[in-house]
A and B are shown apart, each in its own frame.
Chain A
């Protein structure tokens, strides 16, 4: 049966073409397009993972995790870089969580809507897109040179603080979004019971927004852990034959070590770089899992 033919009974406007087959075809085409988009994204990721695993699994063993770097590929390990990255993340999480969430709460819950807050909003939005090398240069001037008495030059503390600057806009934007998603009725109910703004925010709005905040933190920390340019500028060293002994220690980090190995002439070092990538991804995965578990805990509570 020709679907284009008016099917009697119902009056149809002359502009309306029923073209059912065509609409279903469009539907199928759109579905295929979205499927293809997903497949391409996953395909590229799978390709990357597989090639890294093929190159890196052979040299990835316990000795690799617990050894110091070396000029000899068979002796080289990733221990100082792994410790450096973990300590960096501790610094970044410690500073970016209170600062980022605090700023977002102020802007979203306390600040009045005037030109100043609007300018700050626009600035933060733009800062989220600034290349990380720029933050590196900022960190170099501020944390390494200006505050060198506190940070002792190129140490984990100054590197971590620079990474904190890098991800602060992301944390602030994500936190504000999730605060905005908390229904106003929650706030009004609090006020109606005589609570002040601080009590409402602290005991109602923030707990309700926590899952969203945690998601933002996950994304932000993932950006920080893989960032290389910032650390290159703020003085993560390429060769560190010792474990960092605190937050004021010289350090190297996983992305730096990987970059260093990948640019060597010898193919054995390229395999080590692949092993390093696997370690980096494992750390990232552990970190994200922890954050997801925490988020689910908050979700059940609120």
Chain B
């Protein structure tokens, strides 16, 4: 009996010691990454392949696919640099950015004044760089034959807080010419930059919306919801519409010139799809850009026109050439602050 329990004791102690020892051994495992220099023909890799270190990115889930594509390609050319991308949402990203926890923050809307103030308080200067366009796409059920072209006023009649107070729950309350059909609203949650941008465009004030709609952080649920309800209507980024064209239809939006415009690559790029086309941003921390060569290399890589193809690859609309040059100028001249000019 004594012998047996000693074995148990020994086994337990030994395995614990092993585990803790292993933990300690791996604790400071910051092994320098191998310095593999591979000069590829890609012009964007301009002599940056010997940099190493970490680049920390967080922010909008809308911009995530762009950063992910950039990080993937950049990582192939610069094996010494570890780029991590996270998706806490535009607002969540700025919180971390201004707490000095990330180098670059992705956003699907411009930084808000109170967020900029938070950064200033923490002594964090940033460079705002527009990187691409996205078209907020309003989608309806494929069987919907009445909402072919919607005006901002009609959208406002559906989504404003007043609509909730007035109990708007039928299409014919939005416009008398619409049929008697229950209105089912689907949209992203309030942490999303898409929500901020849509409410800004439709309700005139970012973040103000009726609350009694089906909110979801997962755009696929919005797709499912609109598919299953004849009177369903929802909104999300253009990339989701591209992938679900077969089972949804997009509503045309009447722009400021009074024309009905459907979202396409062309209409979003040339600005005629307004007010629903929006710029997407990177916010680069100035101190990281100046002091960390890997952050500088990655930021320069992201706005290199040679890599604009990656943006189209993941379903977004690259900036026109002159805007790319403006973005590059902001970075090289280190123009800090919100919307500098």
Contacts and interface: CB of A to CB of B under 8 A. Distances in A.
B220 interface: yes
Contacts of A157: 27
Contacts of A267: 243
Contacts of A90: 19, 22-23
B270 interface: no
Nearest to A153: B101
A69 B67 CA distance: 13
29 contacts: A69-B72, A71-B68, A153-B101, A202-B5, A202-B9, A203-B2, A203-B6, A210-B8, A235-B101, A237-B85, A238-B68, A238-B85, A239-B64, A239-B86, A241-B71, A241-B82, A245-B31, A246-B27, A247-B23, A247-B26, A248-B27, A248-B28, A250-B84, A260-B87, A262-B218, A264-B65, A265-B223, A298-B8, A302-B4
B30 interface: yes
Interface stretch (A46-54, A92-100, A122-130): A92-100
Grouping DSSP codes into helix (H, G, I), strand (E, B) and loop, the A interface class, with mixed when no group exceeds half, is: loop
A71 B313 contact: yes
Contacts, number: 113
Nearest to B22: A90
Interface in B53-100: 54, 56, 61, 64-65, 67-69, 71-72, 75, 82-87
A226 interface: no
B20 interface: yes
B315 interface: yes
B37 interface: no
Nearest to A210: B8
Contacts of B20: 94
Contact of B82 (A235, A242, A266): A242
Nearest to A260: B87
Contacts of B27: 157, 246-248
A267 B223 CA distance: 12
Given A98-B16, A242-B82, A264-B65, 14 more contacts: A68-B72, A71-B72, A90-B22, A202-B5, A235-B86, A238-B85, A239-B72, A240-B82, A246-B26, A248-B30, A249-B29, A250-B56, A265-B243, A301-B4
Given A71-B313, A97-B16, A265-B240, A239 B54 contact: no
A262 B220 contact: yes
Given A238-B85, A241-B83, A91 B23 contact: yes
Contacts of B220: 262-263, 265
A207 B5 contact: yes
A152 to B, nearest CB: 9
Contacts of A69: 68, 72
A207 B5 CA distance: 7
B19, B22, B68, B86: most-surrounded residue (chain A CB, <10 A): B86
A203 B5 contact: yes
Which interface class (under 10, 10 to 19, 20 to 34, 35 or more) fits A? 35 or more
Contacts of B61: 263
B221 to A, nearest CB: 9
A239 B84 contact: yes
Nearest to B56: A250
Per CB-CB distance, the 8 closest pairs between chain A and chain B, nearest first, are A246-B29, A265-B243, A239-B85, A237-B84, A203-B5, A71-B69, A265-B240, A246-B26
Contacts of A207: 4-5, 8
A263 B220 CA distance: 6
What bracket does the count of chain B residues touching chain A fall in? 35 or more
A298 B218 CA distance: 46
Interface string B94-130: 0000000100000000000000000000000000000
Contacts of B71: 239, 241
Given A94-B23, A210-B8, A301-B8, A250 B16 contact: no
B69 to A, nearest CB: 4
B243 A266 contact: yes
A239 B217 CA distance: 18
Contacts of B240: 265
B38 interface: no
A204 interface: yes
A246 B16 contact: no
Nearest to B25: A246
Nearest to B310: A71
B246 to A, nearest CB: 11
Contacts of A117: none
Interface in B242-259: 242-244
A63 interface: no
A70 interface: yes
Contacts of B242: 265
Interface string A138-164: 000000000000000110010000000
Interface in B322-336: none
A157 B22 CA distance: 13
B7 interface: yes
Nearest to B74: A241
A70 B71 CA distance: 9
Given A237-B86, A301-B7, A246 B19 contact: no
Residue with the highest number of chain A CB atoms closer than 10 Å, among B4, B5, B31, B310? B5
Contact of B314 (A71, A93, A154, A250): A71
Contacts of B65: 71, 264
